[in-house]
Structure 1
Amino acid sequence: MPLRKIKKKREPNWKEWDRLAQKEGLRAPITSVNGDVYTGEWKDDLKHGKGTQVWKASGDLYDGDWEAGMRHEFGTLSVRDEDSGEYIKKYSGGWKHDKRHGYGTNYYSQRECYEGEWQRGQRGGWGRMHYSDGSVYEGEWLGDQRSGKGLLRLPNGNRYEGTWERDMKNGEGRFLHQDKGQVYSGTWVDDVAKCGVMEDVDRDSAPHSPPYPIPQCTLEDSDAVLTAAREHHLQ
């Protein structure tokens, strides 16, 4: 009895093409339709693992970890300098779901940088900010603003230590006027000292001390006056 040859069923071309298009593991540089270029690892057709991406529109470069198509874990973001054309580090640290998250350092300019904790792309937690005028803030942040306990040191040696809210001195705080040899301890509202006690501290060695010392307070109950004023301003 003659054998009948069964013709092998051929898989449709589109299935083969789709399989070849699926990106898995380490791949050569891949250019997107918009011109972005990614070189690195893939998983389930998404950037996953170690990889480097250059965005065509901005010229920014990211080198680090990816997860499910987003920057995740640790990575460094660099931007291209307009004058030299070379890359300058912008941020290095933790990422989560494509946003700065965890501990990292962000460079705003050659003289301004922030080192500390991030939450969902904003400064949040503890951090140290160096400002272009030479001031340094160390303390708590919330929603990209100074909020909570913090210390601000000014270039002339003066410093404020106390509470912050909405990026301003708010609540109880102590301001040392080192240039005048005086210290103020009291209540602040939106960066303005409202009620407290001003005292002389090492005024003889201060470079710009006032000509006369602060007179002694002669109120019968100064504490009660301060308490009433504090309650008024903080209500």
Structure 2
Amino acid sequence: MPIVKYRGATEPLWHEWDRKAQKCGLRHTVYAVNGDQYTGEWLDNLKHGKGTQVWKCTGAIYSGDWKFGKRDGYGSYSIPDPVTKDYKKVYTGWWKNDQKCGYGVTFYAGRKRYEGEWSGGLRSGWGRMYYRDGSIYEGQWLENKPNGQGMLRLPNENRYEGGWKGGKKHGPGKFFYLDKGQLFEGIWAADIPKCGILIDFGRDEAPAPTQYPIPKVTAWKYGFC
């Protein structure tokens, strides 16, 4: 086998040919043994720069930034519709170390959608979630669940504003029953109101007010003459 001198050492010639053939900078299309396909930029035989990956098994496509073989930067991830076969976006936004990280938008089945911050592939930080029934949550998230301060607005415009923990109402909060013209303000624990006060609020504008208004609480002062 032919040999060459390389940095004072002797090595097979095919090592030299291999170094010259390494993908670096230019765009190349490479097919994996399992049928996956990548077209884009490379650095030291790693996906690096702009590129598009197609997974044969699922048909999913990622198009965007890469860094040393992993999705890193801005990019979009799409999957084919099982019926129409048309591609629909699942996520568009920022990535880090092959996971969603930073601001991004995710589209779920049933017209659900999340717009906001991510960390380690999970909804974490500030975000807004649109649910299938028309409800909207806007506020803080931690590991895919509402956590911190946030507001949940229901389809009938009633809303809760206050604390959340692990996806449930927790801590001081207010629930506006705008359909009845009432407001409950109190303390919540695991989605259950533990104590508080219920008062009339916007009763004159409410579409379905209660039959009688809530009596006002009057404080009496007692003393001796």
Pairwise CA distance, 1:220: 7.4
Letter in 1 for 2:132: S
SS of 1:210's partner is coil
More strand by share: 2
* Aligned residue in 1 for 2:143: 143
In structure 1, C-alpha distance between the alignment counterparts of 2:204 and 2:28, rounded to whole Å: 70
* Aligned residue in 2 for 1:229: none
In structure 2, C-alpha distance between the alignment counterparts of 1:169 and 1:127, rounded to whole Å: 17
TM, length-normalised to structure 1? 0.86
Q: Which aligned pairs between 1:91-170 and structure 2 lie closer than 5 A? A: 91-170=91-170
* Aligned residue in 2 for 1:32: 32
Structure 2: tracts of 5 or more residues without a match: 5-11
| Post-superposition CA distance 1:147-190 (Å, at most 9, x none) | 00001111101000001000000000000000000000000111
* Aligned residue in 2 for 1:84: 84
Q: Answer yes or no: is 1:54 the counterpart of 2:68.
A: no
In structure 1, C-alpha distance between the alignment counterparts of 2:21 and 2:30, rounded to whole Å: 11
SS of 1:25's partner is coil
SS of 1:49's partner is strand
In structure 2, C-alpha distance between the alignment counterparts of 1:28 and 1:21, rounded to whole Å: 12
In structure 1, C-alpha distance between the alignment counterparts of 2:146 and 2:16, rounded to whole Å: 56
Letter in 2 for 1:15: H
> Does the 8 A contact of 2:28 with 2:41 survive in 1?
no
Letter in 1 for 2:14: W
* Aligned residue in 2 for 1:68: 68
Structure 1: tracts of 5 or more residues without a match: 1-8, 222-235
SS of 2:109's partner is coil
In structure 2, C-alpha distance between the alignment counterparts of 1:63 and 1:219, rounded to whole Å: 67
In structure 2, C-alpha distance between the alignment counterparts of 1:97 and 1:46, rounded to whole Å: 14
Identity of aligned residues (%): 53
Pairwise CA distance, 1:55: 0.7
TM, length-normalised to structure 2? 0.90
